[in-house]
Amino acid sequence: MSGKDRADGLPPLRDVIERYGLNAKKSLGQNFLLDLNLTRKIAGLAGDLSDRTVVEIGPGPGGLTRALLMQGAKRVIAVERDDRCLPALADISTAYPGRLEVHAADALDVDWRALLGDAPSATIVANLPYGVASLLLVNWLETDPWPPWYDRMVLMFQREVAERIVAQPKSKAYGRLSILAQWRTDPKIVMNLPPEAFTPPPKVSSAIVDFRPIAQPQPPCRVKTLARVTAAAFGQRRKMLRSSLKQLTPFPELLLKRADIAPERRAEDLSVTDFARLALVLDESDAA
């Protein structure tokens, strides 16, 4: 076992992994970041955390967790599914008294508002397990009420997923995730990482997306309706909307006319605002 890491007095992450036998499990999407200079840069992307509660998913051996605490996060709430990581995380808690809470849980089962306790909101920062990253993101983006319980999300994804999140109309990557993310937030890719940045290296490159929630997304449709409309439109992305939207309504041409969208257009030609307008018209016709 070698000495302490100069930055925070805790052992280097490679020693932590060896001490607690944290060999990476593929099934849990374990690709660790062991370079504290890099994790500090990532934590820095979330801005000033000194008065913030941070929610971290999948702290693993704690590289990003330590960086968040070093950067001055007031409180970090970490949710980790792999119990093998708990002793390593307990050591970090001891080094930062009263600032790190660890919850041994599956992030897909967490009630986020309850987890926050009396904190009014939180910033989510995570190197997400790729197997559940899109599902977690969609849950956070579809959360109600809106504005949500988080003020910002800084999240690592596979590069291909990050590109879908920020994709523009008329591109191959543009789809349901782009529309949901861009209607409710202002997503930006803020860092790209090659596979070698991780231990073990994944097969694909990665990217970090910074999401800032938009207080009042426009037009103000129901998020579930937007999801239904994009599912129908992109389920048959090459078809004209007058045909693909038959799944939603027996009168797709009427719906399109009310939303001022030509029936011959296809899903990938429509802007985020067009989709939200279609969803709003559908909400109004359901309410009528």
Interacting residues with ligand SAM (CB under 6 A): 28-33, 57-60, 63-64, 79-82, 85, 106-108, 127, 129, 132
Q: How far is the CB of 3 from ligand SAM (least distance, A)?
A: 21
Q: How far is the CB of 65 from ligand SAM (least distance, A)?
A: 7
Q: Name which of 14 and 224 has its Cβ closer to ligand SAM.
A: 14
Residue number with the shortest CB distance to ligand SAM? Answer: 58
Q: Name which of 79 and 226 has its Cβ closer to ligand SAM.
A: 79
Q: Name which of 64 and 255 has its Cβ closer to ligand SAM.
A: 64
Helix (H, G, I), strand (E, B) or coil at 99: coil
Report yes or no: 207 and 193 within 8 Å, Cβ to Cβ.
yes
Q: How far is the CB of 103 from ligand SAM (least distance, A)?
A: 9
265: CB partners within 8 A, 6+ apart: 240, 241
Q: Name which of 23 and 171 has its Cβ closer to ligand SAM.
A: 23
Q: How far is the CB of 220 from ligand SAM (least distance, A)?
A: 32
Q: Name which of 58 and 187 has its Cβ closer to ligand SAM.
A: 58
What is the C-alpha separation between 143 and 138, in angstroms, rounded?
Answer: 8
- At 76, give phi and psi (nearest 5°): -120, 130
Q: How far is the CB of 145 from ligand SAM (least distance, A)?
A: 24
Question: Which string of DSSP letters, residue by residue, matches 145-199?
Answer: SSS-SEEEEEEEEEHHHHHHHHPPTTSTT-SHHHHHHHHHB--EEEEEE-GGGSB
Q: How far is the CB of 60 from ligand SAM (least distance, A)?
A: 3
Alpha helices by DSSP H, listed for the chain, are: 13-19, 36-44, 63-70, 86-95, 112-116, 130-141, 159-166, 176-184, 223-235, 241-244, 252-258, 272-287
Q: Name which of 158 and 244 has its Cβ closer to ligand SAM.
A: 158
Alpha helices by DSSP H, listed for 13-80, are: 13-19, 36-44, 63-70
When computed from its CA atoms, the radius of gyration of the chain, rounded to whole angstroms, is 21
* Residue 37 exposed, middle or buried by CB count within 10 Å (0-12, 13-18, 19+): exposed
Look at the block and give the residue holding tokens 């861009």. Answer: 182
Q: Name which of 19 and 239 has its Cβ closer to ligand SAM.
A: 19
118: CB partners within 8 A, 6+ apart: none
Q: How far is the CB of 102 from ligand SAM (least distance, A)?
A: 11
Q: Which residues pair with 193 in a beta bridge?
A: 206
